[in-house]
Amino acid sequence: MNDVVLPPWALEEPSLFIHRHREALESDYVSRHLPHWIDLVFGAKQRDPASFNCYHPLSYRGGVDLESIKDESEKAASTAIIHNFGQTPEQIFKAPHPHRFLSGKNTLPVGQRFGVAEGWQLLLRSILPITESATPIDDLVELSPGSDAKPAPRQKFRLDVPGTYLTVQFGFADESLRVYHQDPTTVFPRVSFFLEYTTDIQLVHLTEGIDARRAIFAAPHLLITVSTDSVLTAWRMQIKNQGFRRGDVQLTREVTLRGHTSKVTCLAASAAWSLLVSGTEVRLLFRYGL
């Protein structure tokens, strides 16, 4: 076919134009509404006046027997009407067409949520969540190449202490910095509307008066926090006995870094280069040696 002008979103690439249409046809929206179209064209609502789906009577299969019409004028008129309006497809289904199974099972691994092996294309065009979080998240935990595990959300105002079962949490209304121990090997049921399972979480350290809004680990036991007034603080974390009891974790302030006059929006650290970099909303970077 020649002289075809593609829409701007196709970027003058026919293969992209076809690919986008295929994605649309396989999307969840189309899957949910396709049975309605089948009901109107081939199914139970083909002749349903309540659905405003009534065509010319002669367009339906069996609406008229042209061979039985003796009057040639009447026969020619009926033939012209059929040619003009077309023919409605034969009714195939007498009951509403069932919907495609879209719910999936969260207990199945990624790629097998519907009980069969799936391609990555299906995951991209599906609006079904791979994993869910009831709390605000800040980032996604990076997975190792080739891993079949589900992407894990990283909760906002929460950091995992490298190599431990500890988490540092901040952003509380009382301006506290808290360290929790969460042992995934200790699992017990929790009574709620549904039967749920959770892990044993213990508060093992609390430091008050720290209005932290951002934090990173520059080293396994070196925590950097940023307060609302853009002051950076370095904390040395000391852990004994795996930190599962109150008093086993201590945070000691090592240094306070000032200099930013605008809001700090990002932090990055490199242990290999012994560098800490902070950036502000006015695109100003500060670099510190670790």
Which of the two residues, 115 and 286, has the higher pLDDT score?
286
Whole-number pLDDT of residue 283: 86
For the stretch 232-259, pLDDT in tens is 999 999 888 877 778 788 888 988 888 8
Percent of the chain past pLDDT 90, that is, above it, reads 4
pTM of the model as a whole: 0.48
Amino acid letter at 267? L
Determine the straight-line distance between the first and last CA of the chain, rounded to whole angstroms.
Answer: 65
Which of the two residues, 21 and 189, has the higher pLDDT score?
21
* β-strand partners of 223: 217, 235
What confidence category does residue 117 fall into, taking pLDDT thresholds of 50, 70 and 90?
A: low
- Extended strands (E) in the chain: 137-141, 152-155, 158-160, 166-169, 176-190, 196-208, 212-219, 222-227, 232-239, 249-257, 264-270, 275-280, 285-289
CA dist., res. 89 & res. 51, Å (int)? 17
What confidence category does residue 285 fall into, taking pLDDT thresholds of 50, 70 and 90?
A: confident
Please say if the pLDDT value at position 39 is more than 60. yes
Mean pLDDT over 34-54 rounds to 87
Query: Mean pLDDT across the chain, nearest whole number?
Result: 78
CA dist., res. 118 & res. 112, Å (int)? 6
Is the distance from CB of 226 to CB of 278 less than 8 angstroms?
Answer: yes
Whole-number pLDDT of residue 73: 86
CA trace torsion 269, 142, 207, 279 (10° rounding): 40
